Amino acid sequence: MTSSGYVAEIDLSMCDACGTCLDFCPFEALSVDGECVVNWDKCMGCGVCVGQCPSEAITLSRDELKGEPLDVRAIAEGARLFIQDTV
C-alpha cells in the first residue's frame, strides 16, 4: 500500500469532534481526544473521511513527503500504447 501523495487536514474551527470520520477511515489514521487529530504516519490520503465529515471540516492537502501522486490517466495511456505497439 502506498500513499496517494496527499494527507487529511482538519479545520478545527469547523470540526465538532463528533468522531464520524473515525468510523470510516480504513487506516485508523484519525483520533478524537477533545479535537480530531490526523496521524500523519497512518494517513494514506484516500479521502474517505472527507466525504463522511458532516461538518465538512476535512480536506486533503498535497504533501510532498508522502510521495508523488500517481497519474492514472498517463499510466493507462502508456499501457494502451504499449499494447498497441506489441500487437
CATH number of the domain enclosing 56: 3.30.70.20
Burial class, 15, CB count within 10 angstroms (exposed 0-12 / middle 13-18 / buried 19+): middle
Number of domains in the chain: 1
pLDDT value at position 15?
96
Any domain includes 20: yes
d(C-alpha 43, C-alpha 40), whole Å? 5
Dihedral, 24, 29, 31, 37 alpha carbons, nearest 10: -120
H or E element in which residue 33 lies: none
Cβ atoms within 10 Å, residue 46? 18
Paired with 73 in beta bridges are: none
Cα atoms in the Cβ-side hemisphere of radius 13 Å centred on 17: 9
Does residue 79 form part of some domain? yes
Q: Do the domain assignments include residue 63?
A: yes
Q: Which whole number is the average pLDDT over 63-78?
A: 74
Digit-coded pLDDT (tens) for 34-56:
999 999 999 999 999 999 999 99
pLDDT of amino acid 71: 66
Element (H, E) at 48: helix 48-52
For residue 56, what are the domain limits?
6-86
pLDDT confidence of residue 72: 67
- Mean pLDDT of all residues in the chain? 88
In a domain, 1, yes or no: no
Query: Residue 28 falls within a domain, yes or no?
Result: yes
